[in-house]
Amino acid sequence: MKKLPNLKQKLLNLKQWLTVADAARHLGILFGEDVSEADVLRLALDGHLTLSVYFVNHTSARCGPLVSRADAKRHTVPAFDDHEAIEIIEGVEVGDQVIECLPLIFQLQDVWDLTMWGAERIDVEHRYQFLTGGPPVDLYSPAGPIVCRKDGTHCQLQLHFSQNEFADPKNLKEPLNHPANYYPAAGLPLDSVLVVKTSALHDLETQLAGPDQTEKPLEQRERDSLLVIIAALAELAEIDVKKPAAAGATIESQTALLGAEVSSRAIQNHLKRIPEALERRSR
């Protein structure tokens, strides 16, 4: 792997994020081969690179912490006629997890990470197919676009019913920013920009570079010992490693404060190995 010229590396370290085009150029120089915008998007779609979005203008969203489906709050709709009572999960369901949205509408700005769980993934796929001359993407996600930050906050992007030509203004509630006046957006805002954080690029570089052949790789027992130590330290810090997404976001923010940021996704991958390590060490 080539090393970037010192001045260019210093300039890169001063930036918090790059456009997808600039990220492609950076990776092309680093690895000594052509890297296109489509390549960067494919890396993100395949889970190798965290892609982010820069909200040039504010955008509305419902936000809250991420919890497991088992821990999500529920309410029961009473039975009527011949129908049985129905238990409904409160929040936005994304796979086996739920965003417990607060009863407020937030205005997001600056840079947020794409979770690739909802409509934001479809937007990225659409852009990838366009750049590669592929077929049109006609998919739809009822979850809307989902973005997140390192503190564990997850948000579902929203639109106001006043922006919908088919909505009846008489049905709007007071005040105008009442949460009931909003619904999930179909995709990312048109005035937003896809970007790549420099920390995400560093993570990818480390991943593609592979292990340092001059160092002896960790044996299973050593790896398990480190995971057990992580589990013990997390418990002392009251971080629940059984919830890798939330724990990963919390630990990522702390690594950033140390000046050696590790992405939430990389942390989650390690935390998910803890149960097996604990089981092996307890035998």
Is residue 99 a contact partner of residue 89, using CB atoms and an 8 Å limit?
no
- Cα(154)–Cα(61) distance, integer angstroms: 10
**Using the 8-state DSSP alphabet, how is residue 117 labeled?**
S
CA neighbor of 199 nearest in space, from 134, 129, 270, 257: 257
CA atoms within 13 A on the CB side of 273: 14
* Of residues 187, 148, 108, the one with CA closest to residue 268: 148
The Cα–Cα gap between 131 and 23 comes to 16
What CA–CA distance (Å, rounded) separates 267 from 272? 9
* pTM to 2 decimal places: 0.69
Q: What is the pLDDT of residue 261?
A: 80
Q: Which two tokens stand for residue 1?
A: 């792997």
- Distance (Å, rounded) from C-alpha 233 to C-alpha 247? 12
pLDDT at 20: 97
Residue type at 124?
V
Residues 139 and 120: their CA atoms lie apart, in Å, by 11
Angle among Cα 95, 240, 260 to the nearest 5 degrees reads 95
Q: What is the pLDDT of residue 64?
A: 93
Q: Which residue has the tokens 């976001």?
A: 249
Residues in CB range of 133: below 8 A, 6 or more apart: none
Neighbour-count burial for 151-161, b at 16+ CB within 10 Å, e otherwise: ebbbbbbbbbb
Q: What share of the chain is helix, strand, coil (3-state, %, to 5)?
A: 40, 25, 35
Q: What long-range pairs does 76-85 form, CB within 8 A, spacing at least 24? A: none
- For residue 23, how many other CB atoms are within 10 A of its CB? 28
Structural contact between residues 110 and 55, judged by C-beta atoms closer than 8 angstroms = yes
10-residue mean pLDDT profile of the chain (283 residues): values are 56 81 91 92 95 96 90 79 77 88 93 96 97 94 94 94 83 87 95 96 81 62 86 89 86 82 84 86 74
Take residue 17 and report the two structure tokens written for it. 């994020």
pLDDT at residue 46, rounded to an integer: 95
